[in-house]
């Protein structure tokens, strides 16, 4: 059976969607998978401020609509871009094995000389303000190469990009720029960062889910539940990352914290994190 897979048109989105198709083709050899590039409204409005105007579903709505109307059977998204609540007719079938969740500081000047930082992410900006309290912050939009060129052209001293995206595009250096990986205690990643999510209709969930990463599904589900309780959206200033048995958490009202996960199985850990986030939520309400 030919299965069409909806994807945004950026080079990174195409690469991630091709990785998803290759993975599914290996595990479902009787099916063929074909990319369906879809234009999204947010990609044509680079002056749109995600921080000021909100961002829930902006990167996903056209792709999800293509599943609902039958144009595509699947859609591929960066997990961190998915809204906390999907259309009730859709499900996250699962994820590919997670790549690096970390962020990379990309700068025109050495890290200690950075004065102007370009980022459209409230989470990244909030944490960078602690590292660079005297810096000027600018907004930046565009695909990965566009952002790299803007920094190389001195439109800002630095920006932040996801390490997974750079790795998938094969970018470990670029022109005259410095690349510095930020470990999770320095820059806590977004919930779900580094994971490629595959969305389908609810009735198709069982057909695809068994062929995707259970470990990644459990990890991302826990992170997203924490985000849902604590702050609630993909443009949240909160950073939430499960690394082994540790939960790294950042919130502007709480600062950086790390917690040891409790529970002998997923259900117990899920319950523990729900209670922990509810308690933290009460501290920032």
170: exposed, middle or buried (Cβ count in 10 Å: 0-12, 13-18, 19+): exposed
**Angle (nearest 5°) at CA 197 between 192 and 200:** 140
Rounded CA gap, 111 and 90, in Å? 43
SS3 54: coil
- 279 catalytic residue (yes or no): no
DSSP calls for 203-257 = GGHHHHHTTS-HHHHHHHHHHHHHHHHHT-STT-S-EEEEETTEEEEEETTTEEE
Q: How far is CA 19 from the centre of its chain?
A: 16
Residue 150, φ and ψ in degrees, nearest 5: -65, -40
User: Which candidate in 22, 47, 69, 81 is catalytic?
Assistant: 81
Rounded CA gap, 26 and 15, in Å? 17
Q: Taking a C-beta distance cutoff of 8 angstroms, is the pair 79, 217 a contact?
A: no
**Catalytic positions, please?**
81
């Amino acid at each position: 059976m030919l299965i069409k897979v909806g994807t945004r048109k950026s080079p990174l989105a195409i690469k991630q969607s091709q990785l998803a198709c290759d993975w599914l083709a290996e595990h479902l050899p009787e099916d063929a998978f074909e990319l369906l590039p879809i234009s999204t409204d947010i990609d044509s409005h680079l002056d749109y401020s995600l921080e000021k105007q909100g961002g829930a579903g902006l990167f996903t709505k056209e792709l999800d609509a293509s599943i609902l109307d039958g144009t595509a059977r699947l859609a591929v998204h960066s997990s961190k871009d998915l809204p906390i609540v999907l259309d009730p007719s859709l499900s996250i079938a699962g994820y590919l094995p997670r790549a690096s969740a970390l962020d990379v500081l990309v700068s025109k000047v050495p890290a200690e000389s950075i004065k102007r930082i370009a980022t459209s992410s409230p989470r990244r900006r909030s944490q960078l303000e602690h590292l660079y309290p005297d810096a000027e912050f600018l907004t930046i939009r565009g695909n990965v190469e566009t952002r790299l060129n803007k920094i190389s052209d001195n439109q800002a001293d630095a920006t932040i990009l996801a390490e997974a995206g750079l790795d998938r595009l094969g970018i470990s250096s670029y022109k005259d720029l410095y690349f510095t990986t930020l470990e999770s205690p320095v820059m806590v990643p977004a919930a779900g960062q580094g994971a490629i999510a595959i969305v389908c209709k609810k009735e198709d969930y069982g057909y695809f889910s068994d062929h995707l990463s259970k470990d990644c599904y459990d990890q991302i589900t826990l992170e997203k539940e924490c985000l849902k309780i604590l702050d609630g959206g993909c443009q949240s200033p909160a950073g939430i990352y499960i690394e082994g048995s540790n939960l790294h958490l950042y919130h502007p009202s709480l600062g950086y914290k790390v917690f040891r996960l409790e529970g002998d199985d997923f259900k117990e850990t899920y319950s523990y994190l729900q209670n922990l986030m509810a308690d933290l939520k009460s501290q920032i309400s």
